[in-house]
């Protein structure tokens, strides 16, 4: 894990931003929603994931395990983690993920080297045209990846939205079916 963490000062600054933004309202592996809305930045989300120690503490997508076969654009091998909100929703057989659901997909190269970490975070009212998903793509270091035009890969990402819309009837999720589980 240490190779995937961002520098201590950046981590501390981002963690403080999350703490300030959530002001004691964080629990159960979820960024709390406030009346002013959650902090939807890639840096804050990454800091939260590191604080939660998601890769050791969160559930794996049911039936997938670690390093299952993937495909482009994510990677040849994948591991998908769910916070408690998302895991409980899958267990209940929901037709769409509830507010606060977080899905983390680690993207690996064929030699099992971590290439990127992609995240979907369900934020009510954030992105109504795309089921309220906030998307991020982080490099293995934790730094946000950038598109060719220099835009940080966080938020309403056209590439993510345009691909995931193919699974609109499954709440934009490719990893597995969520309805009727």
Q: Which pLDDT tens digit goes with each residue over 120-157? A: 999 998 988 888 999 899 999 999 999 899 999 898 87
Q: Buried (b) or exposed (e) across 19-52, using 16+ Cβ within 10 A?
A: eebbeeebeebbbeeeeeebbbbbbbbbbbbbeb
- Is the per-residue pLDDT at 22 higher than 60? no
Share of the chain above pLDDT 70, in %: 78
Q: How many CB atoms lie within 10 A of CB 53?
A: 10
The residue with greater pLDDT, 1 or 35, is 1
- Is the per-residue pLDDT at 86 higher than 60? yes
- Is the per-residue pLDDT at 6 higher than 50? no
pLDDT digits (tens, 9 = 90+) for 27-54: 445 454 433 334 789 999 999 999 999 9
Report the predicted TM-score, pTM, of the whole model to 2 decimal places: 0.77
Spatial separation of the C-alpha atoms in residues 38 and 127, rounded to whole Å: 13
Residue whose pair of structure tokens reads 């933004």 in the numeric block: 21
Mean pLDDT of 2-24: 35
- Is the per-residue pLDDT at 26 higher than 50? no
pLDDT at position 159 = 73
The pLDDT mean for the chain works out to 79
> pLDDT band for position 180 (50/70/90)?
low
CA angle at 172 for the pair 167 and 173, rounded to the nearest 5°: 90
Sign of the Cα pseudo-torsion (156, 158, 160, 161, in order): positive
């Amino acid at each position: 894990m240490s190779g995937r963490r961002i520098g201590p000062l950046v981590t501390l600054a981002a963690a403080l931003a999350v703490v300030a933004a959530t002001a004691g309202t964080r629990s159960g592996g979820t960024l709390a929603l406030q009346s002013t809305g959650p902090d939807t930045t890639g840096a804050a989300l990454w800091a939260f994931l590191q604080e939660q120690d998601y890769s050791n503490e969160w559930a794996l997508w049911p039936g997938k395990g670690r390093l299952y076969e993937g495909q482009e654009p994510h990677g040849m091998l994948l591991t998908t983690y769910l916070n408690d909100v998302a895991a409980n929703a899958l267990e209940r057989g929901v037709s769409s993920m509830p507010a606060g659901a977080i899905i983390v997909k680690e993207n690996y190269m064929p030699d099992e080297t971590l290439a990127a970490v992609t995240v979907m975070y369900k934020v009510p009212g954030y992105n109504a045209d795309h089921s309220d998903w906030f998307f991020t793509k982080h490099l293995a270091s934790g730094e946000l990846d950038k598109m060719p035009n220099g835009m940080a890969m966080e938020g309403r990402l056209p590439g993510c939205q345009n691909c995931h819309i193919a699974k609109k009837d499954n709440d934009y999720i490719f990893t597995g079916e969520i309805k009727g589980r």
